[in-house]
Chain A
Amino acid sequence: MILYGVRRLALAVPLLLGMSVLIFALMRLVPGDPAIAVLGYKATPEGIRALREAFHLDEPVPQQYLRWLGAAARGDLGHDFRQNEPIGRMILDRLPVTLELTLLAALCTTLIGVPLGLLAGGRRGGAADRAALAVGLVGVSIPDFWLGIMLILVLSLGAGLLPSGGWVPFAESPMDNLIHLTLPALTLAVSRAAVLGRLTRAAVLDIMHRSFVQYARAKGLGERAILFRHVLPNAAIPIVTVVGLQVGYMLGGAIVVEMIFTLPGLGRMTMDAVLERNYPVVQSAVLVIGAMFMLVNLATDVLYGAIDPRARRR
């Protein structure tokens, strides 16, 4: 298992390199001069020249890439165009927000989606199954931005139960931190929980027909015991896979939620950087998100081994 982990980590290096080349090239293919984008109405010829010189934008693209790569290898992600702030610091400041939001959302996704799927799969064709399917369908269809605003209107503005946005660091007040992240986490979780619920249902239905389940039933085990002791562990592999993938997507895709709830996260920073043509920020942020995606996949694979002993032997 350790060897497997080391091999996977070693594979990550060329993958990240390839990703960095792709992002570097794509950003430069996007129309719009970054110097003009940053300066806006103050884009005088002198200002444009000065900014391009300061950030080496006047060099050939491959040279710019190699310069950036060399610095990144030394741990220096450079400075952003707008405020000349160290990008490493920018990412470190915002990463905890996105990470915590993602983890909370993943927890909500699992706590909502898995029971929904178990309920539906365990009572196939019944009222509970139909209700769970309907809830799942609605959940999958709702866009995050609409759901977020609705939750604010109902639970914050209407009922005054939860704040409409903002961020309180965990170290400052754990309770306020969690209260402020409740609505954002729910917003992210709902559609993903619906997907997970449907997948869980499908996995449960598949396993329910296996011979060992028939045997357990013949032994006299109750349906609940069968579901939790035999079906769920066997359904766990696809569940863990989907949750792992969703965590990866949420890490990079929480932009809309971060904007609605004014959370100072990585997604919002990256989105602003794309619009500003803030190349070094986009490159570094995407690289960091890509690396986290790979780590999540690795963690998922390691988890397989913990759930299914057969996976360890492969």
Chain B
Amino acid sequence: MTDRDRPTGFGQSTRREWLTRVGGLAAGAGLAALGGPAARPAWAQGQPKRGGILRVATVDKPVNMDPGFAQLYSSLQVYQNVYNKLVYVDETGQFVPGLAKSWKADGEKAWVFDLVDNAVFHNGEPFTAKDVAFTFNRLLDAKNKLPMRVFFSPVEGVEAIGSHQVRFSLSRPFGPLFAMLSQATEIVNEKALAEKDPKLFPIGTGPYRFAEWVKDDHITLERWDKYFRPGRPYLDRIIFQAPADDTVRLTGLQTGRYNWIQTVPPQRIPELERLPREMKSSPGRPYFPFYLMLNASRPPFNDKRLRQAIAWTIDRSEIVKLVYFDTHVVTAEPTPEPSPWATGVNAHKGGPDLARAKQLLADAGKSGGLNLTYLVKSQVPVLVKTGEILREQLKKVGITLDVRPLESGQYFEELVGKKFDVAGGYWSVTVDPDMFYYPMQHSSSAWNFCGFKSEEADRRLDAFRFTSSPAARKKMYPELVRWFQEEGSLVVFSNELQRYWMKPNVQGSAPLSSLELRFEDTWLN
């Protein structure tokens, strides 16, 4: 399927319209009128209708459809519609059934899941407990070298204890288990993996089956008529494309080439909100923390006082206003409201406090000034601009910041090699805050690019991770946030509002904390 399949485009039935338009232009037709009242929230309205094609424009192109790799978010966004997980997270942050219809703890180190009995893989194979066992044991087998294995290290094994019942055995209590299940693991079928290379052709139980992938152009998914949830999905097809540029995506939405796009240039949002006849947006939800990484593996940021000096100098509001045009929320924690994990804790409340920052610099023997480098990917212009604003802010306390935008390959090499003082970054995994703090601040983590090592940090993170009681974890979390704000090497400054833009007739699409693009409940009016 290609760009011919466009209801308002340039297929057979619209060539007459095209010629009419040419004639109209020759007669002096004008442009469409602009302006109008502010857009109302894009919430599902009316009764779901079956049929139609959703043309989706995401930010980056997919590379690998094998869920064991979870390589690039752009890949997940496609295959999350092809596979199913055991559980999902809903808009309120609660875990809801997927292929698992119910679950119960069996002590602190085991969970039993009861599975649906009417799901069918796209190759015709019925879904059973063996598929769940196979999926996780494939993931956990070190020989397969699947990158997602590290997220499930406390899982010792998964066994099928009935045709539609599985048991997860853990080496120790594992608090974020459900967050991991809802974010990271799609269920695969052994026979399907043997039939087709899962990197190129995924076969799952999901609402849509994989139809074709034309590289660098589009991916087409088609409705799976044997989906286990009756009546779903509504759409006939979804076509994913990944234009490289925000402007190209937006223009595509305006011309009708796409009817759903992931992002727009933030500075154009006020203007777009005045075009309710052309497009609408979903509510914005803060699911994408932005932060500074301070390299604690070497001077100067191996000194906590200097890390705190940065935290007291940074003016988050100014950054959000000037760089992100208020499309972020100002926050000092990775999971602000409406996340169920929001604490409101801010150890630097009332900041920026330049006097305090200068005092800290003086205490650390740097009252004469400090020269720092800021490492950033040149392909993320907003983080480059963040560095430029930060440079001006740090000047006020005598810190000189050299902003070094590097293209992707060099950026990662310097980041992994810890050849930086400050780096700008963002993180996409926050269903459970353990998925933010543990990789970024635990001394054993390969993603601890700051090189932050602290026994106390490890102790706190292990306690937070290896406690099964949600209430106990909730209780220890605010203190964990405060501790890392005061001792750690990350400075969270904002959280990007995930807000999707679509044609007015698209219903049932909302941002989720898992950042999934699930179109199971989407329909076209």
User: Which residues of A are in contact with B by a Cβ distance under 8 Å?
Assistant: 30-34, 36-37, 39-48, 50, 82-85, 90, 93-94, 149, 152-153, 156-169, 172-173, 175-176, 179-180, 259-260, 262, 264-265, 268-269, 275-277
| B248 within 8 Å of A (CB atoms) | yes
Q: Are A172 and B4 in touch, CB under 8 angstroms? A: yes
Q: A36-B413, A259-B244, A275-B409 are in contact. Are A163 and B447 (CB under 8 A)?
A: no
Choose from B6, B71, B214, B412 the contact partner of A36 (Cβ within 8 Å).
B412
Q: A36-B412, A37-B408, A259-B245 are in contact. Are A176 and B4 (CB under 8 A)?
A: yes
Which of B15-23, B124-132, B304-312, B321-329 binds A?
Answer: B15-23
Q: Are B413 and A32 in touch, CB under 8 angstroms? A: yes
A290 to chain B, nearest CB (A): 21
The docked-state distance in angstroms from the alpha carbon of A175 to that of B31 is 26
Choose from B31, B257, B412 the contact partner of A164 (Cβ within 8 Å).
B257
The docked-state distance in angstroms from the alpha carbon of A162 to that of B64 is 33
Q: A36-B416, A167-B217 given. 17 additional CB < 8 A pairs?
A: A31-B409, A44-B446, A45-B446, A47-B147, A50-B145, A85-B200, A159-B21, A161-B25, A166-B241, A176-B4, A176-B11, A259-B245, A262-B217, A262-B243, A262-B244, A264-B214, A276-B409
> What are 29 A-to-B residue pairs whose CB atoms are below 8 Å?
A33-B412, A40-B408, A41-B447, A42-B147, A43-B416, A43-B446, A44-B150, A47-B147, A82-B63, A82-B64, A83-B199, A149-B247, A156-B251, A161-B18, A161-B25, A163-B3, A163-B10, A163-B255, A164-B248, A165-B3, A166-B217, A166-B257, A169-B2, A172-B4, A179-B10, A262-B241, A264-B214, A268-B216, A277-B409
Q: Which of B15, B31, B217, B243 has the most CB of A within 10 A?
A: B217
The docked-state distance in angstroms from the alpha carbon of A175 to that of B11 is 9
List residues 242-285 of chain B with CB under 8 A from any CB of chain A.
243-245, 247-248, 251-252, 254-255, 257
Q: Are B446 and A34 in touch, CB under 8 angstroms? A: no
A83 to chain B, nearest CB (A): 5
Question: Which residues of B have CB within 8 Å of A94?
Answer: 215-216
Q: A167-B2, A262-B243, A264-B217 are in contact. Are A158 and B409 (CB under 8 A)?
A: no
The docked-state distance in angstroms from the alpha carbon of A268 to that of B200 is 20
- The chain B residue sitting closest to A42, CB to CB, is B147
The docked-state distance in angstroms from the alpha carbon of A179 to that of B11 is 10
The docked-state distance in angstroms from the alpha carbon of A152 to that of B2 is 19
List residues 141-194 of chain B with CB under 8 A from any CB of chain A.
145, 147, 150
The docked-state distance in angstroms from the alpha carbon of A39 to that of B209 is 28
Question: Which residues of A have CB within 8 Å of B255?
Answer: 152, 156-157, 160, 163-164
The docked-state distance in angstroms from the alpha carbon of A149 to that of B200 is 33
| B123 within 8 Å of A (CB atoms) | no
Q: Which of A39, A165, A179 has the most CB of B within 10 A?
A: A165
Q: Are B252 and A165 in touch, CB under 8 angstroms? A: yes
Question: Which residues of B have CB within 8 Å of A90?
Answer: 215
- The chain A residue sitting closest to B61, CB to CB, is A272
The docked-state distance in angstroms from the alpha carbon of A39 to that of B411 is 12
Using a Cβ–Cβ cut-off of 8 Å, how many residues does chain B contribute to the interface with A?
A: 47
User: Which residues of B are in contact with A by a Cβ distance under 8 Å?
Assistant: 2-4, 6, 9-11, 15, 18, 21-22, 25, 31, 63-64, 71-72, 145, 147, 150, 199-200, 214-217, 241, 243-245, 247-248, 251-252, 254-255, 257, 379, 407-410, 412-413, 416, 446-447
The docked-state distance in angstroms from the alpha carbon of A47 to that of B254 is 42
Q: Are B10 and A37 in touch, CB under 8 angstroms? A: no
- The chain B residue sitting closest to A179, CB to CB, is B10
Q: Are A165 and B9 in touch, CB under 8 angstroms? A: no
Q: Are A31 and B410 in touch, CB under 8 angstroms? A: yes
Question: Which residues of A have CB within 8 Å of B247?
Answer: 149
Q: Count contacts between A and B, CB distance < 8 Å.
A: 138
Q: Are A37 and B21 in touch, CB under 8 angstroms? A: no
Q: Are B251 and A42 in touch, CB under 8 angstroms? A: no
Q: What are the nearest 6 A-B pairs in CB distance?
A: A32-B409, A37-B409, A166-B3, A264-B216, A44-B446, A264-B217
Q: Are A157 and B71 in touch, CB under 8 angstroms? A: no
The docked-state distance in angstroms from the alpha carbon of A40 to that of B408 is 8
Question: Which residues of A have CB within 8 Å of B22?
Answer: 161
Question: Which residues of B have CB within 8 Å of A269?
Answer: 216
The docked-state distance in angstroms from the alpha carbon of A302 to that of B408 is 44
The docked-state distance in angstroms from the alpha carbon of A46 to that of B149 is 13
The docked-state distance in angstroms from the alpha carbon of A161 to that of B195 is 45
- The chain A residue sitting closest to B65, CB to CB, is A83
- The chain A residue sitting closest to B71, CB to CB, is A42
- The chain B residue sitting closest to A180, CB to CB, is B3
- The chain B residue sitting closest to A80, CB to CB, is B63
A224 to chain B, nearest CB (A): 30
Choose from B71, B215, B252 the contact partner of A264 (Cβ within 8 Å).
B215
Question: Which residues of A have CB within 8 Å of B217?
Answer: 166-167, 262, 264
The docked-state distance in angstroms from the alpha carbon of A268 to that of B241 is 14
The docked-state distance in angstroms from the alpha carbon of A47 to that of B3 is 38
Q: Are A275 and B31 in touch, CB under 8 angstroms? A: no
- The chain A residue sitting closest to B449, CB to CB, is A41
Q: Are A176 and B10 in touch, CB under 8 angstroms? A: yes
Question: Which residues of A have CB within 8 Å of B25?
Answer: 159, 161
Question: Which residues of A have CB within 8 Å of B10?
Answer: 162-163, 176, 179-180
Question: Which residues of B have CB within 8 Å of A161?
Answer: 18, 21-22, 25
The docked-state distance in angstroms from the alpha carbon of A159 to that of B251 is 13
Question: Which residues of B have CB within 8 Å of A93?
Answer: 214-215
The docked-state distance in angstroms from the alpha carbon of A277 to that of B408 is 9
The docked-state distance in angstroms from the alpha carbon of A26 to that of B255 is 42
B445 to chain A, nearest CB (A): 9
- The chain B residue sitting closest to A32, CB to CB, is B409
A170 to chain B, nearest CB (A): 11
Q: Which of B15, B71, B150 has the most CB of A within 10 A?
A: B71
The docked-state distance in angstroms from the alpha carbon of A169 to that of B212 is 15
- The chain B residue sitting closest to A258, CB to CB, is B216
Question: Which residues of B have CB within 8 Å of A48?
Answer: 416
Question: Which residues of B have CB within 8 Å of A153?
Answer: 251
A303 to chain B, nearest CB (A): 33
B103 to chain A, nearest CB (A): 29
Q: Are A158 and B216 in touch, CB under 8 angstroms? A: no
Q: Are A43 and B412 in touch, CB under 8 angstroms? A: yes
Q: A84-B199, A262-B243 are in contact. Are A176 and B413 (CB under 8 A)?
A: no
A206 to chain B, nearest CB (A): 40
The docked-state distance in angstroms from the alpha carbon of A30 to that of B54 is 41
Q: Are B147 and A32 in touch, CB under 8 angstroms? A: no
The docked-state distance in angstroms from the alpha carbon of A166 to that of B10 is 11
Question: Which residues of B have CB within 8 Å of A160?
Answer: 21, 255
Q: Are A260 and B4 in touch, CB under 8 angstroms? A: no
Choose from A85, A157, A176, A179 the contact partner of B251 (Cβ within 8 Å).
A157
- The chain A residue sitting closest to B257, CB to CB, is A164
Q: Are B2 and A172 in touch, CB under 8 angstroms? A: yes
Question: Which residues of A have CB within 8 Å of B248?
Answer: 164-165, 259-260, 262
The docked-state distance in angstroms from the alpha carbon of A260 to that of B254 is 15
Q: A45-B446, A259-B245 are in contact. Are A37 and B252 (CB under 8 A)?
A: no
